[in-house]
Structure 1
C-alpha cells in the first residue's frame, strides 16, 4: 500500500472518529440540557406548588379572621339593638312620667265633660242643691282616673299628684286659680272606657244628673296645657 493511500485511510478513520465524537458530544449536550431544563421545570413546579399551598393557608387564616370579625360585629349589633331598645323603653317611661307629672303640654284622644249649675237652681228654695260643688267635680275626676285617664285639666288648670279642688262660694279653686261654672273637665285616655265608667248604673252621672247639668263629648284630639306652678307645693 502506498503512502498516499495510507494517508487517505488514516484521514478517513480520523474523520469518522471525530464525527462520532462530535455527534456523541452533541447528543450528550442535548441530553444534559434537557435534564437541566427538566430539573428547572421541576423546581419551578415545586416552588409554585409551595406558593399555592402557602396562599391556601393564608386564605384559610383570613377566612377564620373574617368569621371571628363577623361574630364580633354580630355581638356589637346585638348590644346596640339592646341598648336602643332599652333607650326607647327609658324614653317611653320618661314621657309617661312627664305626662303624669304634668310638666309638659299633651294632646290625644279623650273626653270633655262640661258641668253647669242646674236650671232648677233659680226656682228652688235650696239653691245649694242645684249648683256644682267641688265634691261633684272631684267625683268626676276620680272616676276618670279610675278609668285610666292619663292626664286631666279643669278649666285649663292641669291636675298633678298634689293638686286640690276647693270650693269658695259659687267658685272652685284649682292649683290656686279661681274659676266659676261652667267647669270643663278635659281628660286624655280611651274615650269609650272613660264614658262607660261615668255611665255605670248607680255611678257618678246617675247620682248627679238630678242636681247639676253634665254634658259629655268624645274627642279625637284633646289638648291639655302643662302644669304651671310648684308641683311640690300642696294647694290647700
Structure 2
C-alpha cells in the first residue's frame, strides 16, 4: 500500500499564522526603535536645559560681579568729586546737583524721614458681581506713586524694591511686577521726604486716599523718622 505524499504547500491556517508573526515582529521592532528615539530626544532636551541653566547661572554671577565693580567705580568717582569740591568751591553746586541726580536714579543708598503706605485687598463680598472690585490693581499703586513724586519724594520703594526713574509696574493677577520682579499683596510703599508734606498730599479731600477707599482698598499710612533704602545696584 502506498503512503500519501507530504504536501509542501502552506495551508491557509499556516499562512495566516505566518502573516501574524511577521506583523507582530514588525510592530515590536518599530516600537523598540520609537522608544529609543524618544529616549534620545528626552536626553537631548535634558542636556540642553542643563546647559541653558548653567549659562544662566554663570551670566547672573557675571552680572553680580559687574554690579559690584560699577558700585565701586561710582564710589570712587564720588570721592574724587568731593575732594575736588573742597579745592574748587565754585563747582560745589554742580557736585550737589550730581548727587541729587544719583539719588533720583537710585544709584546710591538713601536714609531719612518719610512715610509708609500699605495697600491690601479687601474682604470679598459674595453679593458683589465682580471680585476684582476688592483687589489692589496697578492703577491704585501708580496713583500713590505719582502723588508721592509730585509731592517731592526723594526716593520710593515697593515691598523693598527701589524704584528707578524708568521703572515699570504691571499687574498680573494677584501680584504686580516691578522691573521684572513679582510681589504679592499687601503692597508696602515707602517714600523718603518731608513726611508731613507727603502724608498731607495723599489725604487731601477727594485725593488719592479717598479714591482708594471708594475702590474698597484697605489703606494704612504712617509717618516714620527713619526709612532706609539700598541702591538699585545692590538689588541686582
Map of 2:62 onto structure 1: none
Distance 2:129 2:94 in 1: 57
Contiguous gaps of at least 5 residues in structure 1: 1-79, 232-236
Question: CA offset at residue 228 of structure 1?
Answer: 4.2
Q: Give the 3-state SS of the residue equivalent to 2:232 in structure 1.
A: coil
CA 122–100 in structure 1, closer or farther in 2 if over 3 Å, else same: farther
What are the superposed Cα offsets for residues 79-137 of structure 1, whole Å, 9 maximum, x if unpaired?
Answer: x9995433432331121111001011111111110110012457644210111000100
Instruction: Give the one of 130, 135, 142 matched to 1:131.
Output: 135
Deviation per CA, 1:146-186: give whole Å up to 9, x if none: 10001101111111111011000110000110010000101
Structure 1 residues 121 and 184, CA gap change in structure 2 (3 angstroms): farther
Which one of the candidate residues 108, 118, 131 is aligned to 2:112? 108
| Matching residue of 2:75 | none
Q: Structure 2: how far apart are the matches of 1:167 and 1:118?
A: 17
Is 1:197 aligned with 2:188? Answer: no
Q: How many residues align?
A: 152
Q: Which runs of 5+ in 2 are unaligned?
A: 1-83
Match of residue 220, structure 1, among 219, 225, 228 = 225
1:148 to 149, 152, 162: 152
Between Structure 1 and Structure 2, whose CA radius of gyration is higher? 1
CA RMSD of aligned residues (A): 2.5
TM-score where L is the length of structure 1: 0.59
Contact 2:85 2:95 in 1 (8 A): no
- The 3 A distance-change label for structure 1 pair 106 and 230 is closer
1:167 aligns with one of 168, 171, 185: 171
Match of 2:183 in 1: 179
